[in-house]
Structure 1
Amino acid sequence: MKPSRVRGEASAEWRSFLRKPAAVFFTFVFPAILVALFAVVVGAGSGFFEEPQGYYFAGYLGFVVLLTPLSRLSSTVARGRDRRRFEKLATTPLTRAEWLTAHVAVNGGLILAASGLIALLLVAVGGASLTLSLVSVVVTAASVLIASAGFCGLGALIGRAVSSQDGAIAVSNGVGFPMLFLADTFVAPDTLGVGAPVVELLPLTYFSRTVRGATFTGGSGAELVTSLALLTVFSAFLFAAGAYALPWHE
């Protein structure tokens, strides 16, 4: 993998992001609105949302780390396939893994920035109590980058499998939103009556547990290592599958 090729593709993807106001809105503004709305609901202390504000930080980050890569990569791959862009890329030295790594770098950086904004808003607006030590920040940042790699891979798989860009976005939402609420994010799985096997097979579950353990519940070192390791395994598999599925020679 050559860094210069990754940087070149990442630079092009970054410029593409800045030219799309909708992408900027859903990456930064919409999560901020979500935090503000949930702060009111959680503050009321009723229904499903009875935990302290800090408990939901993992859910807010899960929203961004899951849906941003899924929607962006699925639509990008579907659009690139329809416009035969990957056939042109196949004639260059750029490899599938380098292309996907560049997009992971851009999406991961954007999600890290959004995560910082969410943390500030949750503390300032919701009055959340978060553990923001060096260890918690490093573990959370690592979780964001690792999860971004996996969900970029999943987005690439969706973009390859569906027949159109609109279909890719629809399938991404169909996959993403159920996972968002079933993966131990906003509501505990036993409250929803979801079976353990379903929850344990969702990569977002391990992201949520890692972030919540690092920033709120004070999970033990062994628990954090275990959940982060499982997240890494899921993400490595999805990244490899997504890179392989790119329509490089169609």
Structure 2
Amino acid sequence: MTDNMWTLNLLGCWQLRRLGQPVQVASRQRRLITALAIVGPRPRTAVAGLLWPDSTDRQADASLRVALWHVAHELPGLLRDAQHLLALDPSVAVDFHGVQHSLTHAYAEPVPIEALRTGELLPGWYEDWVISEQERFRHLRVMALDAAAERALAEGDADTAETAALAAANLEPLRERSVVLLVRAELAAGNINGAQRSYRRFRSLCQDTFGLEPGFQLSQLMRSELQARVSALVPS
């Protein structure tokens, strides 16, 4: 089998391709393939319990056997079943794996902003195990975007910092650290009105959600900016 005979996209729209051509996959097999792509090699019993948690062990095992039979006959070479472990074949190229690696190492290795503004993981999937992975992936993206914003600010690149911080704030609107970075970037770019709008939007969200004011760092940042603007208007 040639390298990357199979490619699997989990970000944005789910898509399996064989030698570059899209392949239609039924729901049961799609869930099995996706689970192995995300959680990695697992014993049969673990995979059956993950995918059919509300079924009895016998029913879950039967459902898994049916899915495996279809994959083996319709998508040969995609999965491995050895030593009591189920796994994707190592040659399968999965977009999620590369992006996840970049996000995990974003503090040590600079990552292009466009690579961080990737699609959502499995949008429209609502199973519990998928939701937990979606939340973990979203948090990784936010932390990586924060790191990119901090790095750009340190390098004097206010525009890149603003792009990264805004993407992070859109992913987690109540994450104050991202909003602080966004306001700092807007101030550094001379976008005073934008910084004030970002602050007011976040303040309103905090009050509506928690009945609280923003934290000290963000409030102090805005007070300092206001004081600086007042001082600039006072004749020396």
Asked whether the two chains share a fold, i.e. TM above 0.5, the reply is: no
| Higher-Rg member (1/2) | 2
Between Structure 1 and Structure 2, the one with more helix by share is 1
Between Structure 1 and Structure 2, the one with more strand by share is 2
TM-score, length basis structure 2: 0.27
TM-score, length basis structure 1: 0.26
Which structure would you say has the larger RCO, counting Cα contacts within 8 Å and 6 or more residues apart?
A: 1
